[in-house]
Chains A and B, each alone.
Chain A
Amino acid sequence: DTGVSQDPRHKITKRGQNVTFRCDPISEHNRLYWYRQTLGQGPEFLTYFQNEAQLEKSRLLSDRFSAERPKGSFSTLEIQRTEQGDSAMYLCASSFSFGGRTEAFFGQGTRLTVV
């Protein structure tokens, strides 16, 4: 399978714990995005990488959130000191641009529940 994969699919954690999610993009894609999605809403942009460089972070991404993409391959999203409001689906996507068009392909997401 050469699609975007995310791990884990589900995570239940206690408030105050740290969690880390992993995303493996499509290998030839140079851009990688993280989004957060709550029920019934469209995905909210969190951050994106071009190769290993993190080029933009949303104001939604508080100091408790950090993302890395070492060597421009897989990426991790860490949430420290989780809060109940962090409960959501975290989606990763990768893309490459050509001719002015960008098409992003998504993983199946990691559903986080903070209890």
Chain B
Amino acid sequence: TQLLEQSPQFLSIQEGENLTVYCNSSSVFSSLQWYRQEPGEGPVLLVTVVTGGEVKKLKRLTFQFGDARKDSSLHITAAQPGDTGLYLCAGEASGTYKYIFGTGTRLKVLA
């Protein structure tokens, strides 16, 4: 069974702080996606990482794909209250067509 484990599960920080969310698996993924979800809405795609070791930046968000394509991280610099939400990693493990999600990280940024 392919699983994507995220840590931490919950994170409450002050505005301006930095944070990192991790997404780990024992399986290799051909690509990984990161989503953000607000209450009552569907997840919204933020980024896709494809190549092992790849780093992508989206304003204050930096995404990294592990060299072995089994893990990924999301780093937020100078967090703002607008970053509050549920962050999810997701992907299709190599050799399957099943698109699965991580366990989620609920982030709350306090003003």
Contact = CB atoms under 8 A, between A and B. Distances in A.
Contacts of A91: 42-43
B98 A45 contact: yes
B103 A42 contact: yes
Interface stretch (A14-22, A65-73, A75-83, A95-103): A95-103
B44 A106 contact: yes
A105 B45 CA distance: 7
Given A108-B42, A111-B40, A48 B86 contact: no
A41 B99 contact: no
A104 interface: yes
Dominant secondary structure of chain B at its interface with chain A:
strand
B31 A48 contact: no
Nearest to A104: B99
A31 B33 CA distance: 16
A107 interface: yes
Nearest to A44: B101
- What range describes how many residues of A lie at the interface? 20 to 34
Contacts of B103: 41-42
Interface of A: 4, 31, 33, 35, 40-45, 48, 50, 55-56, 89, 91, 93, 95, 97, 99-109, 111
27 contacts: A4-B42, A31-B97, A40-B86, A40-B106, A41-B103, A41-B104, A42-B88, A42-B102, A42-B103, A43-B43, A43-B88, A45-B99, A48-B97, A50-B97, A91-B42, A93-B42, A100-B30, A101-B30, A101-B48, A101-B50, A102-B30, A102-B33, A102-B91, A103-B33, A104-B45, A104-B99, A109-B42
